Amino acid sequence: MATTQDVGADRRAGPPAPAAPRARRSRFDALLLIPALLLILGVVGYPFVVSVIDSFVKVEGRQHAYAWITANPVYLRIIGRTFLTSVVAVVLCVLLAYPYAYVMVLAGRRIRLVLTVAVLVPFWVSGLVRTFAWVILLQSGGPVDRLLPFLGRDGLLHTQTAVLVGLVQVLLPFMILPLYNSMQSIDRRLLQAAESLGARQTVAFFRVVVPLSAPGAGAGALLVFVTSLGIYVLAQILGSPATSMIGSVVYTQTSQLNNTGRAAALSLSMLAGAVVLIGAAYLLFRLVPGARRAG
């Protein structure tokens, strides 16, 4: 970027442009960011700071919010369940996304277009609509119940399995798209090299494709994980009180009990846990020698 501009400046005929207007232009360019930054800071940044403060300062039911969380193990359990569900969803998404993205990369033009549309349309079609479709499919006496009656006595709706199935189906595009993007940029000659040196296809896949596409998988995992942690509507529709995730508690505390301090404390504890977990995953990833070389 900088080099092309410099070359252009040199090539330009006539006296070189004075330095002052350039500096002014750069400052003007920075000003263009102000409206967007104001919007994000006002609607996302400032409210976030307010909820952090609320979570520490507000006293609801004669208790500070974090004291309330620690005094009620049920909420810690719900946080734990939320994390566990999200991690399982990430793992399932990775397992399903890898073959799909790989075939997308290898396929000819037409098949690739079909596969692209098959992932882009669900990516943008309302998650709510897709969740509702699972209600029809999983309800007691519904198609899944009739085809596979051994799965549950009363249909799978309102079970942990239903929540997971819905989560994975709704979030899978978030995993496939970044994975495909990073796989696509792998130099195909590396695979040829591996195979010509005697590696079998499977070996070549796991030793070449998997490490080199790890950044894409990491990005997808991050998106799936973060989205899954904050899910509310899907868990509400497909789950039951016994499978409730943090979103349900936060929603009840906020809009029914108006305990915004508690809601903020719960969601921030979850966010802190997520940051720790993502950081740990990142460090672990860096410690794997092959992955580090690839990244």
For the chain, helix, strand, coil in percent to 5 are 80, 0, 15
Contacts of 156 (CB under 8 A, 6+ apart): 138, 144, 145, 162, 165
Distance of CA 4 to the CA centre of its chain: 36
Question: How many residues in the chain?
Answer: 295
Which one among 88, 112, 210, 252 touches another protein, defined by CB under 8 A? 112
If the CB atoms of residues 83 and 160 are measured against another protein, the closer one turns out to be 83
Least Å from the CB of residue 62 to another protein: 21
If the CB atoms of residues 122 and 152 are measured against another protein, the closer one turns out to be 122
CA gap 236, 84 in Å, rounded: 17
Site for another protein in 179-238 (CB under 8 A): 180-182, 184, 188-189, 191-192, 195, 201, 215-216, 218-220, 222-223, 226-227, 229-233, 236-237
Site for another protein in 133-152 (CB under 8 A): 133-137, 139, 141-143
Q: Which of 182-219 are b and which e, b meaning 16 or more Cβ less than 10 Å from the residue's Cβ?
A: bbeebeeeebeebeeeebeeeebbeebbbbbbbbbbbb
Least Å from the CB of residue 66 to another protein: 15
Number of residues that bind another protein (CB under 8 A): 119
- Biggest CA–CA distance in the chain, Å, is 84
Which one among 97, 163, 164, 171 touches another protein, defined by CB under 8 A? 97
Which one among 65, 90, 119, 163 touches another protein, defined by CB under 8 A? 119
Site for another protein in 21-80 (CB under 8 A): 25-26, 28-33, 35-37, 39-51, 54
Q: Which helix (H) or strand (E) holds 23?
A: helix 19-31
Only one of the segments 64-72, 73-81, 125-133, 148-156 lies at the binding site for another protein (rule: CB under 8 A); that segment is 125-133
Q: How many CB atoms lie within 10 A of CB 147?
A: 9
Q: Does 155 bind another protein (CB under 8 A)?
A: no
Least Å from the CB of residue 258 to another protein: 9
